[in-house]
Structure 1
Amino acid sequence: MGGRGICHMRSASFFVVLLVLATIGKPPWAGAHGFLCENFKSRADRPHSVSITEFGAVGDGVTLNTKAFQNAIFYLNSFSDKGGAQLFVPAGKWLTGSFSLISHLTLSLDKNAIILGSMDPYDWPITDPLPSYGRGRELPGERHQSLIFGHNLTDVVITGDNGTIDGQGSIWWAMFNNNSLYHTRPHLVELMHTTGLVISNITFKNSPFWTIHPVYCNQVFIQNITILAPLDSPNTDGIDPDSSTNVCIKDCYISTGDDLIVIKSGWDEYGISFARPSSNISIERILGRSKNGAGIAIGSEMSGGVSEVHAEEIHIFNSRHGIRIKTSPGRGGYVRNVYISNVILTDVEYAIRITGQFGEHPDDNYDPDALPHINNITIRDVYGIGIGVAGILEGIQGDSFSQICLSDILLNVTAAEDSSWNCSYVEGYSCLVSPSSCQPLQQIPRDSSVCYAPADYLAPNCSSSTYVELASL
């Protein structure tokens, strides 16, 4: 029997053992170290602090406190050149409309503090569309400002003792579902053009639209947060780094109606023109589920480019997709140097999906010949049970997605083996994949360096000798 046959038999026999190891106690990859996240430092305590109650706020869940938040932050601006300041939100339910943060500010929530987004759309101001999108994401023209907003800032912290920020998004979801929106729905938190953003130890609930949206930001650290929204809530993405660099996301639980973490960089001709990529994105230790989205996604708005994405120790359950890359003719841009490893999937409909025909364009001015370039995508060490389809990998005719490398992937799929992978217009390599990957990837590279891996990781070695060596273990 050839090396490939031995490899697949051995992979199948290890399947149950590996799943048990992955779900009881620490999984076999628990010792993997961080990459970008190690470079982040925690912020020092602010030398000055005030409570929102000092500005007349009432935590009864009924009184509108927008002016109190605005006045408190205006006052604290005088300390921005003196080490910054903290705005403390004590226990209570603090109803508010949109308010904007300032540089060198910590917004800190007590354990039993709940910031509630107003359910009156007039308390969420209208603001300009993002230049990399050219219009609101849902409707032409302007859009609603997020509940917590900021732009052109430095050194901003949103943290606490696991207090809650609740967008009360049901009114927005209803307007979306019955087509009564006048402007694109607001995010829960959006920071623009900000350097040094830390978000930690907070629960975010019921966002009207995307939950946390750092856009045009640098040095973003998100850790130890929980994001919750009903599984049928529309487009309630968890964390959306967008045209941002040096982003670390780790130790989060996310359960929403759409993608848990999705990396973006602008939409069609507007993203191409704005030309601000997302790069150096680190994602570690994420647990969650999504009824309609993916655990880890890129796109579909990626026209400014996405590169250097490293994700590891991911557990996705009861979800539509595990790992997904979405793009389309007209997007332009690129997705390259993506490394995803150490993933557990439980009851997921599609384990891996890459599609080049994910439509939707901002207007009719996009260039259909602006084709995206998708290459250097490595996905390895993926274990799944209750999987509907192992993978759908669909490039674009005349624009094949290349250097797609799959290794050490063991999936218990419900589809027939000969239909568990569906591939077109893709090129790449695979080894130790069960069920067997699709024909365009069923070759053994002579040189494993064709598969992308971070500098401090071992690239998958899929030579024929490796097959025989692994099969004999």
Structure 2
Amino acid sequence: MYNVMDFGAVGDGTTDDTGPVQAAVDACAQAGGGRVVIPGGHVFRTGTVTLRSHVELHLEHGATLAGSPNFEDYSVRFGGVVRNDGSSSWGDTPTTVLLNAEGARNVSVTGSGTIDGAGRHYVTGDNGHIYEMDQRRPFTVYFRDCRNVTFRDVTIVDGAVWTLRLSLCDDVLIHGIRIHNDLKTPNSDGIDLDCCRRVRISDCDIVAGDDAICLKACLETVENAGEREAVCEDVTVTGCTITTTSSALIAGVEDQTAIRNVVFSSCVIRQSARGLAVRLAEGGEVANVLFSDIVVETRFFHSGWWGRGEPIAIMAVPWTDRCGTIRNVRVRNVLCRSENGVLVLAQEPGAIEGLVLEGVRVEIDRWSRWEGGHADLRPRRAEPFPAMPTDAFHLENVQGAVLRDCEVVWTRRPDDGRHALYAENCPGLVNRDFRGEAAHPSREVPVVLA
């Protein structure tokens, strides 16, 4: 046991305790490993703390590790990443990190205490729906190239950007944690798995201003992977409750290589901008993804947030000039209440194949103040919000899709509502035991297959 107060930490919430906390971690690592204790009843304000191999950081009940409001207190910083089209992931201003690890083995963060990501200190403006942020805001947790990583039971609040980010990490367990961020903080994702392998996420509660659980293969990670195969694979997510202003469960957007062999199951999603998503935007591949036994509720938000209330969104639309393929996605036993319908769309034929939707019930309702009638295809160089009537199921340029035992119910029949099922350029489509009617049967037929 290495209590940080034995190394001089004060824990009054105002003193900079970075040095003593880091000293406790270093002493623990030098002794071969053990537990560094953040004791209850105290708030320890720090800048960057770097964990080492064989160290467990344990936060007791009533303990808080709080990120500093001062940029100068953070010693680990990351510059912006320039993409092929000249854009930058984070801009030119360096991004910082609160809890850091690189190349660590057998590293854990446990306990019933709290990690405070300090997001509120980096708000520079508020338009009523989404904050403007100082781009120097810290990642709350950023681990890179680590093995045997565990996060258990901790609560993380007020993440400023990508709350729990793991890049090139293998053999990861994330269980029973809570992430509660301000829903107006942009990019405050819950959990981001970036080129990680063999990951289990279970029984977590996530409230996030942006994607809640997101699988990625980011440009900067792929370029710095060395000889390692930079892919995201062999991931299970189960038993989570989620609220987000963007996608709840998503594979993709940043997808330079492969994202594959993924299972999402037994989750409840409420009041989110997008529910279950596979979003291919770059030149990689997403393959073998299962979504099953999930309850989804999605709604419209201000256009500053990505997503237009789709309970299920599977899209292959290039960010700039290229796009890979989506193969073998299965969605089974999903109950949806949403302001928009299921969207499966490829910009070019052949980019999506082998899709199965089985036992999917879509109830279309409207309760927010935002208007429907268009899609959200961001990130995209062309028109990001093309006009699109609300179909309960909309499939476009999809190869070999199968729909079995799907159902449509219109609680509200909006003026922009259209078909129960619309399929355009979908060779090999199989549709069995489909139930439902058009939003306005007197105007349209319930099923259109083009």
Q: 1:111 aligns with which of 42, 61, 70?
A: 61
- Between the aligned partners of 2:53 and 2:390, the Cα distance in structure 1 is 56
Determine if contact 2:181/2:207 at 8 Å carries over to the other structure.
yes
Instruction: Give the drift of 1:75.
Output: 1.3
Instruction: Give the drift of 1:233.
Output: 1.0
Greater share of strand residues, 1 or 2?
A: 2
Instruction: Give the drift of 1:305.
Output: 1.2
1:210 is the counterpart of 2:139: no
Q: Which residue of structure 2 lines up, in the alignment, with residue 93 of structure 1?
A: 43
Q: Which residue of structure 2 lines up, in the alignment, with residue 432 of structure 1?
A: 405
Q: 1:272 to 1:325 in 2, by over 3 A?
A: farther
Instruction: Give the drift of 1:256.
Output: 1.2
Q: 2:261 aligns with which of 308, 319, 343?
A: 308
Tell which deviates more after alignment, 273-282 or 416-425: 416-425
Q: Which residue of structure 1 lines up, in the alignment, with residue 310 of structure 2?
A: 350
- Between the aligned partners of 2:255 and 2:2, the Cα distance in structure 1 is 41
Instruction: Give the drift of 1:72.
Output: 1.2
Relative to the length of structure 2, the TM-score reads: 0.78
1:174 is the counterpart of 2:124: yes
Instruction: Give the drift of 1:302.
Output: 1.1
Q: 1:184 to 1:396 in 2, by over 3 A?
A: farther
- Between the aligned partners of 2:174 and 2:330, the Cα distance in structure 1 is 24
Matches within 5 A, 1:269-288: 276-288=230-242
What amino acid sits opposite 2:53 in the alignment?
S
Q: 1:388 aligns with which of 339, 342, 356?
A: 339
- SS of 2:190's equivalent? coil
- SS of 1:211's equivalent? strand
- Between the aligned partners of 1:438 and 1:248, the Cα distance in structure 2 is 36
Instruction: Give the drift of 1:252.
Output: 0.4
1:412 is the counterpart of 2:412: no
* Number of aligned residue pairs: 383
1:333 is the counterpart of 2:284: yes
Greater RCO structure (CA 8 Å; 6+ sep)? 1
Instruction: Give the drift of 1:139.
Output: 1.0
1:192-225 Cα offsets, whole Å, 9 max, x none, are 1000000011000011100101110000000000
- Between the aligned partners of 1:165 and 1:268, the Cα distance in structure 2 is 26
Instruction: Give the drift of 1:133.
Output: 7.5
Q: 1:381 to 1:105 in 2, by over 3 A?
A: same
Determine if contact 2:280/2:325 at 8 Å carries over to the other structure.
no
Q: 1:59 to 1:418 in 2, by over 3 A?
A: closer
Determine if contact 1:285/1:312 at 8 Å carries over to the other structure.
yes
- Between the aligned partners of 1:351 and 1:61, the Cα distance in structure 2 is 42
Instruction: Give the drift of 1:351.
Output: 0.6
Q: 1:272 to 1:151 in 2, by over 3 A?
A: closer
Determine if contact 2:71/2:136 at 8 Å carries over to the other structure.
no
- Between the aligned partners of 1:271 and 1:358, the Cα distance in structure 2 is 20
Supply the RMSD in Å over aligned alpha carbons: 2.9
Q: 1:272 to 1:401 in 2, by over 3 A?
A: farther
Determine if contact 1:430/1:443 at 8 Å carries over to the other structure.
no
Instruction: Give the drift of 1:65.
Output: 0.2
1:264-302 Cα offsets, whole Å, 9 max, x none, are 0113996699751100010000101112x1110112101
Q: Which runs of 5+ in 2 are unaligned?
A: 300-308, 367-372, 374-388, 409-419, 435-450
- Between the aligned partners of 1:156 and 1:272, the Cα distance in structure 2 is 22
Q: 1:339 to 1:121 in 2, by over 3 A?
A: same
Moved over 6 A (4+): 130-136, 175-180, 415-418, 441-444
Determine if contact 2:280/2:323 at 8 Å carries over to the other structure.
no
Q: Which residue of structure 1 lines up, in the alignment, with residue 369 of structure 2?
A: none
Q: Which residue of structure 1 lines up, in the alignment, with residue 98 of structure 2?
A: 147
Q: 1:132 to 1:99 in 2, by over 3 A?
A: farther
Q: Which residue of structure 1 lines up, in the alignment, with residue 382 of structure 2?
A: none
1:382-439 Cα offsets, whole Å, 9 max, x none, are 0123x11221112122443111110001121138997223332222111111125432
Q: 1:214 to 1:272 in 2, by over 3 A?
A: closer
Between the aligned residues of both structures, percent identity stands at 22
Determine if contact 2:277/2:312 at 8 Å carries over to the other structure.
yes
Determine if contact 2:314/2:343 at 8 Å carries over to the other structure.
yes
